[in-house]
Amino acid sequence: MERQIDNLAGQLLLDFIEEKNITVYINDQVQRVGPSLQQGRLRAQLISGKLLEADAIVYAVGTLPNIEFAQEAGLESARGIIVNDYLQTSDPHIFAIGEIAEHNGKMLGITSAAEKQADVLARFMHGDLQSLYNGAVPMNILKLSGLDLCSIGIPEVPANGDGYDEVLFIDKSMRYYKKCIIKDDRLVGAILIGDKSEFAEFKTLIEDKIELSERRMQLLRSGKKTEPVIGTLVCSCNQVGKGNLLKLMEGGYTGLKELCQHSGAGLGCGSCKPEIQQLIRESLVKA
């Protein structure tokens, strides 16, 4: 999360977690784990010297791409398998996409990046030589009961960055925070806490590099009221129900891409897209 939110967002998140009677140790790390003097328990020793007793320890260490097989095959690699704008590896007959692909020194373990890569590669393999992968917008939705938090694009103005502006709205007592980063009249980053109803709109503005013009005056004002979940929850990232999707389909939005864009469903982790596709198929059969 430290790469996806700024200091103020981190402090709001920390306050929320500590209110749940969870103790957070920052600027520290686990040095050693072993059995406790109390039978059946564990002891973790931190670099600071603190000793923590626990019944269980959960490790959240992220993932590393399994690239050994590619290295053994002689493919060029760094942290991942290095690919060009066509998603070709150093062997032009072999392609790589998803979390294992490293493009311009960057690796993105998010569904939207993998989907974009798959689309680019499919077009290229179908003969479209203009189909190039130019990267994807990093984003994250934290699924934490009782707190909406998401980030899109860059979370902070780059060091020594010129031409950037920040638009902020903060209400600490209500735990509401909105931050928009603008460059050349285009939204390049956003952090939303307390209300993520603008996630889909901001994601489109950043990905499509749309000029804000008069929209800039509206960035501090929520563009639309959050629609309540109707029916069974389908998308937990953006709180979209089956009824919300059916309502949009009745209005003529029957394609997966446009349905996701207008509802916000499927724009986070993407795990709900098969269920959305099934709803579309059922709707077409009834029609």
Which residue(s) pair with 51 in the sheet? 45
d(CA 97, CA 116): 9
Length of the chain: 287
- pLDDT for 7-44, tens place per residue? 999 999 999 999 999 999 989 999 999 999 888 899 99
The residue assigned the tokens 């798959």 is 118
Domain 233-286 has CATH 3.40.50.300: no
The whole-number average pLDDT for the span 173-191 is 92
| CATH 1.10.10.1100 in the chain, residue ranges | 233-286
Q: In the chain, pLDDT over 90 holds for what percent of residues? A: 54
Tell me the C-alpha distance between 261 and 255, whole Å: 10
Q: Would you say domain 139-218 falls under CATH 3.30.390.30?
A: yes
Per-residue confidence (pLDDT) for residue 266, from 0 to 100: 85
Question: What mean pLDDT comes out for the span 237-241?
Answer: 85
Q: Where in the chain is the domain with CATH 3.30.390.30?
A: 139-218
Q: What is the pTM of this model?
A: 0.77
Instruction: Kindly tell me if the per-residue pLDDT of 46 is higher than 90.
Output: yes
Q: Which of 12, 3, 2 is nearest to 169 (CA)?
A: 12
Quickly state the pLDDT bin for 94 (edges 50, 70, 90).
Answer: very high
Q: Average of pLDDT values for 263-279?
A: 86
